[in-house]
Structure 1
Amino acid sequence: MELHVWGTTAALTVTDPAALPAAERVLLRELAAVDAACSRFRADSEISRLHSAAGAPVRVGPVLAAALGVSLRAAQLTNGVVDPTVGNAVEALGYAVDFAAMAPDGPAPVAAPQPAPGWWRVGWDPSTSEVLLPRGVRLDLGATAKALAADRIAQQAARDGGCGVLVDLGGDVRVAGPAPDGGWRLGVADDHTAEETDLVVTLDAGGLATSGTARRRWRRGGRELHHIVDPRTGDVPDSPWRTATVAAASCVDANTASTAAIVMGAHAPVWLEQCGLPARLVDLHDRVVTTAGWGA
């Protein structure tokens, strides 16, 4: 099964064809639930209501609570290199509407980029699912929420169908349940929609995520911009990497690390080695750097 969602593609594969209808229902249900909770492009989403209530404590529903929890964990694990409080910065760069509705070119932003307020300013009590968002702070949970959706869909579909499941949400991949003989074979490329891939990897469990600057690009004031923002500057990162692909125990962890690698720049290989995460980085001159036994 394949469909278009969130300005990208969603693909679902199962090892037992009889389990496909149930897995499709899980996919559609989870995509709808995550969109209703986390989309900053919907006035009726739960996160939009949270923004409107900034300055007062709000108890959020289970899906937004899960998404907020993984985003704050990502920020903590990366020392703020991946930070959910970049909402204002992303919108200032022009990504204020669904990507499919964005103008490919336009005038320069009216204000200079500003650093994100910082994830640590978000008051979050996971025991009560209560969040206190400071006034003026806007969240962007897009990357980690998409990866979380892949994790949730694959795990639930595997439980319901009793078979192996692969979910690919725009380059965020999660497999669950028994893998097919020889494992899941996945193509890796700068563009997840490309017909030709740079290489093929085999995944038996966990997640694989590719972050890069080749997709979701636009121009403002003559500048080439893209969807990955450095929270430390509020601007697109000055990174040597065009693409970062990381394997981890979950899609959320893989996505966190691949996004962090793009933002970290030259320090990324050392950090990925220290974390023990197998990764493949491709720089702007097509040079490939691998870490932690990638390809072993």
Structure 2
Amino acid sequence: MTALRDGVATADWTAWTCRVRLAVTEPAALDEARAVVAAELAAVDRACSRFRPDSELAAVDAASGRWTPVGPLLAEALAVALRAARLTDGDVDPTVGGALLALGYDRDRDRVDPGTVPPVLAPVAGWWTVELDGDRVRTPWGTRLDLGATAKAWTADRAAAAVTARTGAGALVSIGGDVAVAGPAPEGGWRIRVEDVTGDPDAPAPTGSAVVSVVDGGLATSGTRARRWRRGGVEVHHLVDPRTGQPARPVWRTVSVAAGSCTDANTVSTAAVVRGHAALPWLRELGLPARLVTEHGDVVTTGGWPA
């Protein structure tokens, strides 16, 4: 679907079971920009998907315990994931793939097998056990990787930058609510709606949502409402605490963060959900604008998040 509003052209489609929105400040550039974004999504999917048996990531998992050659895209994605782990003291950890498999998240969320037995979970191997040496990687035997906490936001950053570099237009790329912008912003900035579950941005705003203006960098929302399912009669979600291998405790249902990149924003928002009550002092120390919503719907803001 494409649309034109206030001189900004937009296109919407579905990829990775997510809603993708592309917006550009030059309507004539929309078709070329969409091709650029689609190519980025396809390339990252081939390299990093946990759901494709022919992906590079699947080959790394299959060869766990041995050095495996990787292409430049997966090598960069792994480096981004390991950086996120370092910056969050392991709250965001790429070795949670096995825990997600135990929870039944081994296929697209809308086809998850509910199972009959509650999952048995344990702490994950830990990001520090992943060895990345240029164009090769080695993980401990039996380790399964998952780059979901960083790859989607990183792809949005890459795609927005690529659109601006190719067309010269200002660009916004949103993948499942992880938003990156690049180039000149429209007058007043890019207006972005923040909500518990990413929906149609052109539909009436749901109760409890907020609208903010962004001129550069990125904004991301992490939460426990969008990807939930039942496993063995127990309701679970996809944000795993690496220290336990279990879904993060229900303190915040969503955390939204603005930062210099969508990757950094999503790294911090994901870590905040995992940290629970300890997230507030950490976010205040970081000084990043953030909006946290409790399980009961109360809103707490930090770092100058607009009222």
Question: If the length of structure 2 is used for normalisation, what is the TM-score?
Answer: 0.92
Which deviates further from its counterpart, 174-183 or 58-67?
58-67
Distance 2:49 2:108 in 1: 9
- Displacement of 1:22 in angstroms is 1.4
1:142 match: secondary structure: coil
- Displacement of 1:230 in angstroms is 0.6
Mapping 1:254-265, distance limit 5 Å = 254-265=265-276
Residue of structure 2 aligned with 1:119, choices 107, 124, 127: 127
Residue of structure 2 aligned with 1:62, choices 72, 78, 86: 72
Mapping 1:93-104, distance limit 5 Å = 93-103=103-113
- CA shift digits 1:181-205 (9 cap, x unpaired): 0100011110111532411100000
- Displacement of 1:100 in angstroms is 3.0
Distance 1:243 1:66 in 2: 28
Distance 1:77 1:223 in 2: 32
- Displacement of 1:59 in angstroms is 2.3
Q: Are the counterparts in 2 of residues 239 and 266 from structure 1 also a CA contact under 8 Å?
A: no
Residue of structure 1 aligned with 2:37, choices 27, 36, 58: 27
The letter of the residue matching 1:17 is P
1:38 matches 2:48:
yes
- Displacement of 1:101 in angstroms is 2.2
Mapping 1:142-161, distance limit 5 Å = 142-161=148-167
Distance 1:217 1:266 in 2: 21
RMSD of equivalent CA atoms? 1.2
Residue in 1 that maps onto 2:139: 133
Distance 2:98 2:64 in 1: 14
Aligned residues: 292
Residue in 2 that maps onto 1:186: 192
The letter of the residue matching 1:121 is T
1:106 matches 2:112:
no
Q: Are the counterparts in 1 of residues 95 and 127 from structure 2 also a CA contact under 8 Å?
A: yes
The letter of the residue matching 1:13 is A
- CA shift digits 1:42-72 (9 cap, x unpaired): 1100000111122221221111111101100
Question: If the length of structure 1 is used for normalisation, what is the TM-score?
Answer: 0.96
- Displacement of 1:136 in angstroms is 0.8
The letter of the residue matching 1:161 is T
Q: Are the counterparts in 2 of residues 171 and 209 from structure 1 also a CA contact under 8 Å?
A: yes
Distance 1:134 1:221 in 2: 28
Residue of structure 1 aligned with 2:243, choices 232, 245, 248: 232
1:11 matches 2:57:
no
Mapping 1:239-254, distance limit 5 Å = 239-254=250-265
- Displacement of 1:148 in angstroms is 0.8
Runs ≥4 residues deviating over 6 A: none
- CA shift digits 1:160-201 (9 cap, x unpaired): 110110000001000000000010001111011153241110
- Displacement of 1:134 in angstroms is 1.4
Gaps of 5+ in 1: none
Percent identical across equivalent pairs?
Answer: 55
Residue in 1 that maps onto 2:59: 49
Distance 1:141 1:265 in 2: 21
2:197 match: secondary structure: coil
2:185 match: secondary structure: coil
Q: Are the counterparts in 1 of residues 255 and 293 from structure 2 also a CA contact under 8 Å?
A: yes
Distance 2:14 2:210 in 1: 24
Residue in 1 that maps onto 2:180: 174
